[in-house]
């Protein structure tokens, strides 16, 4: 083959390779964009299901939105990365998704639950983890961990598995604290809301018992800012789109 022919062949091969790389890059981007949209739609659907569960237990669905933002703020106060805190903001709102399967006569009972009713209520943790399932997508894995473990206690007396200390995932330990505080400061069917001061006293009383003392201390150190955020979220009631997409 003549040198000129060789150069033409080499140039054609290079051009073909460049076309291949460009096409592959475009296909890769389109694939990632499609995966992102599917993941986002799945996330939104799960949040709506969580809101339906929340409405069985609260007058509005803003509780789950608050939990997301408060969990993010507390994670940052603990020195976790922005990426971890952001993921927790998206995962924590699904903590009580299992309550969608809890009968209203148990969930909304104004008086003390019987032993059988308590067992029914406690099933919502495992049920929530089952609904969320196991996924290769990190935010849904974290959400399943949160749903399963946010009623475990630091002293090992919680449910469903009786985990203790750091055997409880950090995401579950953080969500447990903000859920406790938010629940205490919200009107419930069986009692009016407690004041912030009383809620903080009750949180301190559970330090090292129900809750990780390090997380409680971080919450107390930032309590004013966290409560201000709670009030802000209640007033503004961000949408699920904002919860998912906020930087």
CA–CA dist 173, 149 (Å, integer): 8
- In this predicted structure, the answer to whether residue 32 has a pLDDT above a threshold of 60 is no
- In this predicted structure, the answer to whether residue 226 has a pLDDT above a threshold of 80 is yes
Radius of gyration of the chain (CA): 24
Q: What does the pLDDT read at residue 51?
A: 78
Higher pLDDT, 234 or 26: 234
Q: What does the pLDDT read at residue 230?
A: 96
What are the pLDDT digits (tens) for 177-213? Answer: 999 999 999 887 677 889 999 999 999 999 999 999 9
Q: Tell which residue, 140, 102, 97, has the closest CA to residue 120.
A: 102
Give the 3-state secondary structure of residue 200.
Answer: helix
What are the pLDDT digits (tens) for 128-182? Answer: 999 888 777 889 999 999 999 999 999 999 999 999 999 999 999 999 999 999 9
What are the pLDDT digits (tens) for 37-59? Answer: 667 777 877 787 777 777 666 55
CATH of the domain at 105: 1.10.3210.10
Phi, psi torsion values for 138, nearest 5 degrees: -55, -40
Which residue shows structure tokens 């301190």?
204
Q: How far is CA 121 from CA 56, 88, 125, in A?
A: 13, 24, 9
CA–CA dist 79, 200 (Å, integer): 21
- Indicate which residue of 99, 108, 109, 112 is catalytic: 99
Kindly tell me the number of DSSP H helices and DSSP E strands found in the chain.
Answer: 11, 0
Are 178 and 70 contacting, i.e. CB atoms less than 8 angstroms apart? yes
What are the pLDDT digits (tens) for 17-28? Answer: 665 566 555 554
Q: What does the pLDDT read at residue 215?
A: 98
What are the pLDDT digits (tens) for 54-85? Answer: 766 655 568 899 999 999 999 999 999 999 99
- How many domains, the chain? 1
CA–CA dist 156, 183 (Å, integer): 22
99 carries an active-site annotation: yes
Give the residue-averaged pLDDT of 5-12. 60
Q: Tell which residue, 229, 220, 187, has the closest CA to residue 201.
A: 220
Q: Tell which residue, 240, 246, 212, 245, has the closest CA to residue 64.
A: 240
Q: What does the pLDDT read at residue 57?
A: 61
∠ at Cα 246 (124, 92), nearest 5°?
15
Domain enclosing residue 121, as ranges:
3-245
What are the pLDDT digits (tens) for 89-127? Answer: 999 999 999 998 888 888 888 778 899 999 999 999 999
Q: What does the pLDDT read at residue 205?
A: 98
CA–CA dist 242, 247 (Å, integer): 9
What's the pTM value of the predicted model, to 2 decimals?
0.82
């Amino acid at each position: 083959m003549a040198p000129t022919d060789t150069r033409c062949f080499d140039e054609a091969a290079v051009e073909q390779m460049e076309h291949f790389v460009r096409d592959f890059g475009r296909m890769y981007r389109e694939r990632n964009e499609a995966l992102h949209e599917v993941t986002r739609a799945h996330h939104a659907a799960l949040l709506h299901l969580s809101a339906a569960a929340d409405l069985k237990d609260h007058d509005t669905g803003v509780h789950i939105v608050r939990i997301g933002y408060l969990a993010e703020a507390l994670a940052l106060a603990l020195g976790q990365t922005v990426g971890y805190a952001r993921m927790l903001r998206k995962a924590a709102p699904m903590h009580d998704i299992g309550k969608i399967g809890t009968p209203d006569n148990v969930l909304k009972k104004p008086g003390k639950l019987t032993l059988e009713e308590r067992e029914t209520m406690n099933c919502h943790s495992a049920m929530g983890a089952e609904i969320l399932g196991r996924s290769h997508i990190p935010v849904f894995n974290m959400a399943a961990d949160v749903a399963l473990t946010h009623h475990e206690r630091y002293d090992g007396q919680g449910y469903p598995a009786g985990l203790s200390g750091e055997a409880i995932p950090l995401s579950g330990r953080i969500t447990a604290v903000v859920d406790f505080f938010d629940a205490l400061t919200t009107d419930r069917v069986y009692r009016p809301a407690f004041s912030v001061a009383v809620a903080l006293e009750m949180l301190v009383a559970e330090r090292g018992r129900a809750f990780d003392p390090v997380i409680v201390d971080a919450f107390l150190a930032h309590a004013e800012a966290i409560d201000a955020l709670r009030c802000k979220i209640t007033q503004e009631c961000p949408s699920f789109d904002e919860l998912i997409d906020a930087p």
